[in-house]
């Protein structure tokens, strides 16, 4: 990692903090299990839609035992409006069965144990660690990956490699909030298809944006 990239990252971090000081997880939850379920449901779905569905889900299935024992058809029905409901129902049921069998129904508070759960990768694990347990983690979703590439903070495309690149540039205490700040920026400004480069406060630090301005 070059010194120039580290210096650039410091400037970007300061600007992100100025513009998104209250960036946070927009999924509704009150405990680690609820966040895990909400995060799985958020795949290919908006947080707003998930937050409409989960209050009823959380009331009906308050524990991992409840999800593990539920018929798949019932889970599919309550998850239906989030899309890919069959896959999500099967995934959550398997995860909760594993939680019951190996973790006494509790969510483990370590990345090493979380990624052993069926279908849980580093992204979801870091969401849970950072937001439910206060353990810093960089979440590389599509927004974080796209924005960090465009800003020149990484040249990698693999999410895990991007995560490790960003870990070298961002102070550990800021990992979780930094992820939320890039997600907000990706949603509001740096969209995949029509980025609002002229309105971007990071434009002077973004090679991609400057090239877009010239084209």
Structure tokens that stand for 145 in this block: 């990956």
Q: Active-site positions?
A: 123, 141
Please state the φ and ψ torsions of residue 184, each to the nearest 5 degrees. Answer: -60, -45
Residue among 102, 107, 146, 147 at smallest CA distance from 127: 107
SS3 55: helix
Distance from C-alpha of 181 to C-alpha of 121, rounded to nearest angstrom: 21
Residue 207 CB burial class (10 angstroms; 0-12, 13-18, ≥19)? exposed
Rg of the chain over Cα atoms, rounded to whole angstroms, equals 18
- CA 39, 200, 205: angle at the middle one, nearest 5? 100
Residue among 121, 127, 106, 151 at smallest CA distance from 11: 151
Structure tokens that stand for 2 in this block: 């070059």
């Amino acid at each position: 990692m070059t010194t120039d990239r580290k210096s650039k990252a410091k400037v970007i971090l300061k600007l992100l903090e100025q513009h998104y000081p209250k960036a946070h997880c927009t999924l509704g939850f009150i405990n680690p299990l609820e966040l895990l379920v909400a995060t799985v449901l958020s795949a290919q779905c908006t947080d707003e839609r998930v937050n409409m569905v989960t209050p009823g889900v959380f009331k009906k299935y308050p524990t991992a035992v409840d999800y593990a024992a539920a018929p798949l058809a019932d889970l599919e029905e309550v998850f239906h409006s989030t899309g890919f409901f069959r896959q999500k129902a099967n995934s959550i049921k398997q995860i909760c069965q594993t939680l019951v069998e190996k973790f006494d129904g509790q969510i483990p508070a370590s990345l090493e144990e979380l990624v052993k759960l069926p279908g849980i990768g580093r992204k979801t694990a870091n969401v849970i660690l950072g937001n439910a347990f206060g353990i810093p983690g960089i979440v590389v979703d599509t927004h974080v990956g796209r924005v960090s590439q465009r800003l020149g903070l990484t040249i990698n495309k693999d999410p895990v490699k991007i995560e490790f690149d960003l870990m070298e540039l961002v102070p550990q205490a800021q990992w979780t909030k930094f992820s939320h700040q890039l997600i907000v920026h990706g949603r509001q400004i740096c969209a995949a298809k029509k980025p609002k480069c002229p309105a971007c406060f990071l434009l002077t630090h973004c090679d991609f944006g400057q090239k877009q301005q010239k084209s």
